[in-house]
């Protein structure tokens, strides 16, 4: 069993809770950062493991945000930066999305350089939205891979919350690449680039009315009744347990250093999700999907080749059916 200590920023988030759970199950010590004591205590009781402790980092944008937390933990040798706003319903794109994402990443890296010289590996949770183009910048014929960057400019990102989220992930990731290119650092860095992340919550769900942003795609279908109309929509996805596992591989394997890991399992449409739910949960109120629409819907879904990522990871991504069934089972039955 390992005694390595791993710092996880935003430890109470949907993805981060799975990371914490997997780290603890592999024997790592975990120091998580959260925004308040109440959130720290709640997470501590969910996690229920002596190898977990938390630090309060109230704001990502404050200068020196992570300094005190790292000064208190000279034992930490791995830093996983997951904290970043993920919402499409903010009022002020720059202050609610761009700044916390970009400054949060830079504050983490500066703290590591200045107060965590013993830290050898850093993993930044970026996103597939830092890779793909959207709206007028979506290219239906392009096969996107680990080398691609969303062409959205900073100014375009400010135009609406959706582009704001895309821009926040792109410019936060770019800031990290620039930081390690310019500064002398003791660590190797890796990036995790997932699209929509589906799957059950790591621990019990407190409020099922609204889930985290990506699982709300599934929850919105779950909340439909038989006469509701399913929109002809789809995208690409990956399961949260695979995203967490990839964060561990990213610091455990040397091949992952300086790499962007494009974590895409496959595509989904709401029609397919509805049919998976109907097949597995016959009592559901969800309308039947019309999968004859899938070829048309698929024309609006990004094509991808993540074979380099898959080679580094060395495990298979969970298929859509498993991800949907486990998510919906938790909503209906847990
Ligand atoms: P969650 O919303 O569940 O978790 C986000 C975490 O970041 C929480 O700990 C949250 O703290 C913290 N956070 C958000 N905004 C701020 C802020 N302004 N200041 C301080 N802390 C903040 O999201 P996910 O788990 O889904 O996302 C985690 C990471 O994964 C993010 O970087 C996201 O961009 C990325 N990602 C997510 C995808 C998905 O589909 N879920 C896809 C691709 C990337 P609090 O609970 O206090 O709000």
Report the separation in Å between the CA atom of 298 and the middle of ligand 1, taken as the mean of its atom positions: 28
Query: Does ligand 1 lie within 6 Å of residue 98's CB atom?
Result: no
pLDDT at 205: 86
Query: Per-residue pLDDT averaged across 326-332, rounded?
Result: 96
Distance 38 CA to ligand 1 centre (A): 17
Q: So what's the pLDDT on residue 211?
A: 92
Nearest-angstrom CA–CA distance, 52 and 67: 20
Q: What is the pLDDT of residue 164?
A: 97
Q: Does any ligand 1 atom lie closer than 6 A to the CB of residue 83?
A: yes
**pLDDT (mean) for 129-138:** 97
Q: In angstroms, what is the span from residue 52 Cα to ligand 1's centroid?
A: 20
- 292-326 pLDDT tens trace: 999 999 999 999 999 999 999 999 999 999 999 99
- How many Å apart are CA 285 and CA 276, to the nearest integer? 13
pLDDT in tens, 80-123: 999 999 999 999 999 999 999 999 999 999 999 999 999 999 99
The protein residue whose alpha carbon is closest to atom 9 in ligand 1 is 10
Torsion region of 147: left, alpha or beta (phi above 0 gives left; psi -120 to 50 gives alpha): alpha
How many angstroms is it from 90 CA to the middle of ligand 1?
Answer: 14
In the chain, pLDDT over 90 holds for what percent of residues?
Answer: 97
Is residue 325 within 8 A of residue 275, CB to CB? The reply is no
**Domain limits, the chain:** 5-198+239-264+303-317
Q: Is 81 helix (H, G, I), strand (E, B) or coil?
A: strand
**CA angle, 70 then 76 then 78, to 5°:** 110
Taking alpha carbons only, the member of 278, 257, 262 closest to residue 325 is 278
Round to whole Å and give the CA distance between 51 and 170: 33
- For residues 198 and 324, give the distance between their C-alpha atoms in angstroms, rounded to a whole number: 7
pTM of the complete model beyond 0.95: yes
Compute, in angstroms, the gap from residue 15 CA to the centroid of ligand 1: 8
- Does any ligand 1 atom lie closer than 6 A to the CB of residue 166? no
CATH code of the domain occupying 5-198+239-264+303-317: 3.40.50.720
Q: Is the separation of the CB atoms in 60 and 107 below 8 Å?
A: yes
pLDDT band at 163 (very low <50, low <70, confident <90, very high): very high
Ligand 1 contact, 9 CB (< 6 A): no
Q: What percent of the chain shows pLDDT beyond 70? A: 99
pLDDT band at 206 (very low <50, low <70, confident <90, very high): confident
Asked whether the predicted pLDDT for residue 47 surpasses 80, the reply is yes
Q: Does residue 169's CB lie within 6 angstroms of at least one atom of ligand 1?
A: yes
Nearest to 225 by CA among 283, 268, 175: 283
Distance 125 CA to ligand 1 centre (A): 9
Task: Give residue-wise pLDDT tens across range 17-37.
Answer: 999 999 999 999 999 999 999
In this predicted structure, the answer to whether residue 1 has a pLDDT above a threshold of 70 is: no
SS3 content of the chain, % helix, strand, coil (to 5): 45, 15, 40
With a cut of 60, say whether residue 2 has pLDDT above it: no
Distances (CA, A) of 212 to 55, 206, 218, 222, 321: 23, 12, 10, 14, 20
What pLDDT was estimated at residue 139? 96
Nearest CA to ligand 1 atom 11: 10
Question: For residue 208, what pLDDT is reported?
Answer: 85
Ligand 1 atom with minimal separation from the 169 CA: 34
Sign of the dihedral through C-alpha 211, 88, 81, 245: positive
* 196 pocket-lining for ligand 1 (C-beta < 6 Å): yes
Q: Give distance in angstroms: CA of 21 to centre of ligand 1.
A: 17
Return the ligand 1 atom nearest residue 17 CA: 25
Q: Report the residue among 11, 15, 94 best suited for mutation to probe ligand 1: largest number of ligand atoms under 8 A from its CB.
A: 15
**By alpha-carbon position, which residue is closest to atom 4 of ligand 1?**
13
Q: Give yes or no for a contact between 33 and 59, defined as CB atoms under 8 angstroms apart.
A: no
Residue 7 CA to ligand 1 center (angstroms) comes to 15
| Cβ–ligand 1 contact at 32 (below 6 Å) | no
- In this predicted structure, the answer to whether residue 196 has a pLDDT above a threshold of 70 is yes
pLDDT in tens, 238-279: 999 999 999 999 999 999 999 999 999 999 999 999 999 999
Q: How far is the CA of 135 from the centre of ligand 1 (A)?
A: 23
Q: What is the mean pLDDT of the chain?
A: 97
Q: Indicate if the pLDDT at residue 290 is higher than 70.
A: yes
């Amino acid at each position: 069993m390992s005694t390595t200590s791993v710092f996880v920023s935003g430890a109470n988030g949907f993805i981060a809770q799975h990371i914490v759970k997997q780290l603890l199950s592999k024997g790592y010590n975990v120091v998580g950062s959260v925004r308040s004591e109440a959130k720290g205590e709640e997470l501590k009781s969910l996690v229920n493991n002596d190898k977990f402790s938390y630090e309060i980092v109230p704001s990502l944008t404050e200068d020196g945000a992570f300094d005190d937390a790292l000064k208190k933990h000279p034992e930490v040798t791995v830093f996983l930066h997951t904290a970043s706003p993920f919402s499409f319903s903010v009022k002020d794109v720059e202050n609610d999305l761009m700044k916390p994402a970009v400054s949060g990443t830079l504050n983490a890296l500066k703290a590591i350089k200045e107060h965590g010289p013993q830290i050898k590996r850093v993993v930044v949770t970026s996103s597939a939205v830092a890779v793909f183009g959207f709206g007028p910048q979506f290219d239906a014929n392009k096969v996107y891979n680990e080398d691609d960057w969303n062409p959205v400019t900073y100014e375009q990102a400010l135009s609406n919350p959706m582009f704001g989220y895309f821009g926040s992930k792109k410019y936060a990731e770019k800031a990290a690449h620039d930081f390690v290119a310019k500064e002398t650092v003791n660590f190797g860095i890796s990036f995790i680039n997932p699209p929509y992340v589906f799957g059950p919550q790591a621990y019990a769900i407190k409020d099922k009315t609204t889930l985290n942003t990506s699982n709300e795609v599934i929850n919105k279908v779950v909340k439909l009744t038989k006469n509701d109309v399913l929109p002809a929509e789809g995208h690409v996805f990956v399961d949260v347990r695979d995203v967490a596992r990839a964060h561990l591989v990213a610091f455990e394997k040397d091949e992952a250093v300086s790499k962007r890991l494009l974590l895409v399992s496959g595509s989904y449409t709401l029609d397919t999700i509805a049919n998976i739910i109907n097949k597995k949960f016959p009592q559901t109120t969800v309308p039947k999907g019309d999968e004859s629409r899938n070829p048309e819907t698929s024309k609006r879904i990004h094509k991808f080749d993540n074979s380099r990522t898959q080679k580094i990871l060395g495990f298979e991504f969970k298929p859509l059916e498993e991800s949907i069934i486990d998510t919906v089972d938790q909503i209906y039955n847990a």
